[in-house]
Chains A and B, each alone.
Chain A
Amino acid sequence: MTLSSQPSRLLALLLFAVSAVGLAACAGGAEGANDGTGPVQLLVFGAPEELEAYRTLVAAYEVAEPGAEVQLVEASDREDLIARLGTSIAGGSPPDLFLMNYRYYGQFAATDAIEPLDERIAASDVVDPDAYYPTAMNAFQWQDRQLCLPQNVSSLAVYYNRDLFEQYDVAEPPADWTWSDLLTTAIATTRDAGGAVVRGTESEGGPPQVAVYGLGIEPTIIRVAPFVWSNGGEIVDDLDRPTRFTLDTPAAREALQNIIDLRIAYGVIPTDAEVEAEDDETRFLNGRLAMLMSSRRFTTTLRASAGFDWDVASLPVYANQVGVLHSDAYCMTRGSGRKDAAWRFLEYAMSADGQRTTAATGRTVPSMIEVSTSSSFLDPTLPPANAQVFLDAIATVRPLPTISTWPELEDVTAGILENALYRGDRLDDAIREIDELTRPIFARGEHAAD
């Protein structure tokens, strides 16, 4: 049989045609995704309970605006969201809206990939900038332009298992507790299987047999920052145009050492192997962690899954009551093909109705002042009973710097702090390593204030 026979030629032609059609379809698909038709695409990530909150908001919008359609595009985590966003922007087919924390939106703001919203806000009858917490609004201003609108505003809080506190006869955290109180409480709630107080540090008798740890805290800058501030220290040398971390000051160093001592000296937080085996949130949900430092986002998971009584307390203090800002905002991509439709959804999400809907899911502390103080957020029938803690903290929260290279800075510092916390690396070495590795990253960064 020769290649020139009729069936072979037909096969070749067929293959060529299929390839050509396939390529054309791919090209057409890429264009069609952002040609102004179809639903508004909103890119988000979160735990299943958080995603359910966004679905609730979208459903409420589609009821309020018959005919409007919003498609939720769900990323698996923050890294996945950034990867999807970056590649889709480069491919000319970005989502119309995305939800992002103020710590991470800088890299997109710096590249001019986000549509400024000032004109739309000025023309809107729904979005009044004065109706929202200024701390959250300011966090999304890049070079004097309002790039995104904050959905929520929150601070770090201490979630605690009330059943465990009652079982161990330990007093619940008071409103004005100190770091020392936190340590005492964590020690008192770190127990073995028999309920006896135990120190979860390595000893000659083998690894510790801890059934319940007192506290869960991630070794990250955002967890460390409020304690450094509260102790009178600073995280960076200049909030507007940072060039380096300033963790080498006595105040910052003391706050860091106290966090490291939680593991190394007192053994009140799980070991690295235990965290790898079961992360802090799961451990808390399973009743094996008495307290956990987290933001408001953990509330939805707890409401859905916790089989025990729980509440929240404010962050303990050193000298001053200081919180760290947690805020996510809706941002519109400059390459969106449905900007008007996206803005209509954004208006709804930022309206009192939209904010009430999201607040009712438990996911957010609403950024709208009026809604945050209403029963939609402070619903006495739903935990946490002490939800006012989140509102009280807003007056004291401070933001981390908004710089385009912040994701890299967080990743680099997290690894070094992790080794200091779990392996006991010398703190001075860790601080020096952080300084050496992050200076070039700071130098590459672009700032909101530029």
Chain B
Amino acid sequence: MTDGPVVDEPMVDEPMIDKPMIDKPVVVERDREHRALGLMLAPYVLGIVALVLIPFLVTIVMAFADYDLVRAPSWVGLDNFVELADDPIFRAALSNSLLFAAIAVPLRLVIALGLALLLHRRAAAVGTARTAAMLPYAVPEIAYGLLWLWLLNPLYGPINQLLRVGGENGATVLGRTPPQWLTDPVDARAAIILMSLFTIGETFVILLATRRALPGEVYELAAIEDATGWDVVRRVTLPLMAPVLVLLLLRDAILSLQISFVPALVVTDGGPPPYSTTYLSLFVYRNAFEYLRYGYAAAATAVMLLLTLAAVALQWRLVRRLRWLGRT
């Protein structure tokens, strides 16, 4: 034991006198681990800083500047945001994006969940069915867009050809005109949502793995208690999968601002007029790369980021509220 200074030392469980003798090799070992961890993380940290963090900061700064990529940027304060507020094309893009997210995100999740619950058991051809569910996700985006351009062709596309079977004079069997996917604003928005419903492969795989990992005992217990199938889904499966579902919901809400870009660019070209399928991502692309208005596009991107944050925060609060209600 040592003299006086001992009374000023913090309270510890072990005698201080033993610490240096025991900790020295542990500390060295821990330092080595930290160094190795640091080295292993370095490429990713470098990538995140160079490809995400710096562009993010540059974008935020650029949002307050007039910049055409060639001449030096000039500071314009909030002008870009003021112009955005008055821009009817931006407003159309904003409402299109929100509508897309509000419809496509829950639909994508419900379909992926349905498929996961349907295909999690071993059964005949279940492997083929899982592959089929996954396949559209594996197709390159541009190829996927071009494929749909053909599928949605108003006259020669297989979808409308099928809808016309049994009808007369180019109408469906119900006597109605088939959807004008590329020329009617409502139908075109529906087409973009329809396209997004097939690229759920990743969500499906995550939910499939989650469902397969659920403990079998709870289902046996439910069977003993004569629970109906719907009760099992509602009271056992969904609560157990809830954390993953929430995560995927948040992820898809963020992604929704991006996944509409290629379909809108390749299939509908932002139309039919006026800007029926111009989403925020396409608005940003056009202003930045076609009109060389990078400052303006950066301001629109900042709004996109704010929207994403708001969507995530809203859902997070909703989930916490639901959990609280569940507990009480």
B-facing residues in A7-24 (Cβ within 8 Å): 8-9, 11-13, 15-16, 18-19, 23
Instruction: With both chains docked as a complex, state the minimum distance between the C-beta of B314 and any C-beta of chain A, in angstroms.
Output: 33
Q: Show 24 A/B contacts (Cβ-Cβ < 8 Å), sorted by A.
A: A2-B29, A4-B35, A8-B36, A8-B40, A9-B35, A11-B40, A16-B42, A19-B42, A19-B43, A19-B47, A23-B46, A79-B289, A87-B69, A89-B69, A107-B291, A276-B153, A276-B182, A407-B290, A414-B273, A416-B273, A419-B272, A419-B273, A422-B183, A437-B88
What is the total number of residues of chain B having a CB less than 8 Å from a CB of chain A?
Answer: 43
Question: Cβ of B155 and Cβ of A407 under 8 Å apart?
Answer: no
Question: Cβ of B154 and Cβ of A276 under 8 Å apart?
Answer: yes
Instruction: Check A9/B39 contact, CB under 8 A, given A86-B292, A273-B183.
Output: yes
Instruction: With both chains docked as a complex, state the minimum distance between the C-beta of A89 and any C-beta of chain B, in angstroms.
Output: 6
A-facing residues in B134-184 (Cβ within 8 Å): 153-157, 168-171, 177, 180, 182-183
Question: Cβ of B32 and Cβ of A407 under 8 Å apart?
Answer: no
Complex: how many Å from CA A89 to CA B177?
A: 48
By a CB distance below 8 angstroms, the chain A residues around B42 are: 12, 15-16, 19
Complex: how many Å from CA A405 to CA B272?
A: 22
For the complex of A and B, the 6 pairs showing the least CB-CB separation, nearest first, are: A415-B273, A206-B169, A12-B39, A4-B32, A90-B69, A83-B289
Question: Cβ of A3 and Cβ of B33 under 8 Å apart?
Answer: yes
By a CB distance below 8 angstroms, the chain A residues around B327 are: none
Instruction: With both chains docked as a complex, state the minimum distance between the C-beta of A285 and any C-beta of chain B, in angstroms.
Output: 16
**A418 touches B (CB below 8 Å):** yes
Question: Cβ of B182 and Cβ of A82 under 8 Å apart?
Answer: no
Instruction: With both chains docked as a complex, state the minimum distance between the C-beta of B96 and any C-beta of chain A, in angstroms.
Output: 14
Interface digits, A204-231 against B, CB 8 Å rule (1 contact, 0 not)? 0111000000000000000000000000
Question: Cβ of B40 and Cβ of A12 under 8 Å apart?
Answer: yes
B-facing residues in A273-321 (Cβ within 8 Å): 273-274, 276-278
**A240 touches B (CB below 8 Å):** no
Instruction: Check A277/B156 contact, CB under 8 A, given A19-B46, A415-B275.
Output: yes
**B71 touches A (CB below 8 Å):** yes
Complex: how many Å from CA A415 to CA B286?
A: 15
* Contacts across chains A and B counted by CB atoms under 8 Å: 117
Complex: how many Å from CA A249 to CA B29?
A: 84
**B70 touches A (CB below 8 Å):** yes
By a CB distance below 8 angstroms, the chain A residues around B32 are: 3-4
By a CB distance below 8 angstroms, the chain A residues around B1 are: none
What is the total number of residues of chain A having a CB less than 8 Å from a CB of chain B?
Answer: 47
Contact check: which of B29, B37, B180, B274 meets A416 at CB < 8 Å? Answer: B274
Interface digits, A165-187 against B, CB 8 Å rule (1 contact, 0 not)? 00000000000000000000000
Instruction: With both chains docked as a complex, state the minimum distance between the C-beta of B208 and any C-beta of chain A, in angstroms.
Output: 30
Instruction: Check A86/B169 contact, CB under 8 A, given A272-B183, A276-B153, A277-B154.
Output: no
Instruction: Check A82/B153 contact, CB under 8 A, given A273-B183, A415-B274.
Output: no
**A111 touches B (CB below 8 Å):** yes
Question: Cβ of A405 and Cβ of B70 under 8 Å apart?
Answer: no
Interface digits, A81-119 against B, CB 8 Å rule (1 contact, 0 not)? 011001101100000000000000001100111000000
By a CB distance below 8 angstroms, the chain B residues around A15 are: 39-40, 42-43
Complex: how many Å from CA A278 to CA B154?
A: 10
**A408 touches B (CB below 8 Å):** yes
By a CB distance below 8 angstroms, the chain A residues around B182 are: 273, 276
Complex: how many Å from CA A87 to CA B153?
A: 33
Complex: how many Å from CA A79 to CA B88?
A: 22
By a CB distance below 8 angstroms, the chain A residues around B70 are: 86, 89-90, 108, 111-113
By a CB distance below 8 angstroms, the chain B residues around A207 are: 169-170, 177
Question: Cβ of A82 and Cβ of B289 under 8 Å apart?
Answer: yes
Instruction: With both chains docked as a complex, state the minimum distance between the C-beta of B166 and any C-beta of chain A, in angstroms.
Output: 15
Question: Cβ of B155 and Cβ of A274 under 8 Å apart?
Answer: yes
Complex: how many Å from CA A240 to CA B27?
A: 76
Complex: how many Å from CA A3 to CA B171?
A: 67
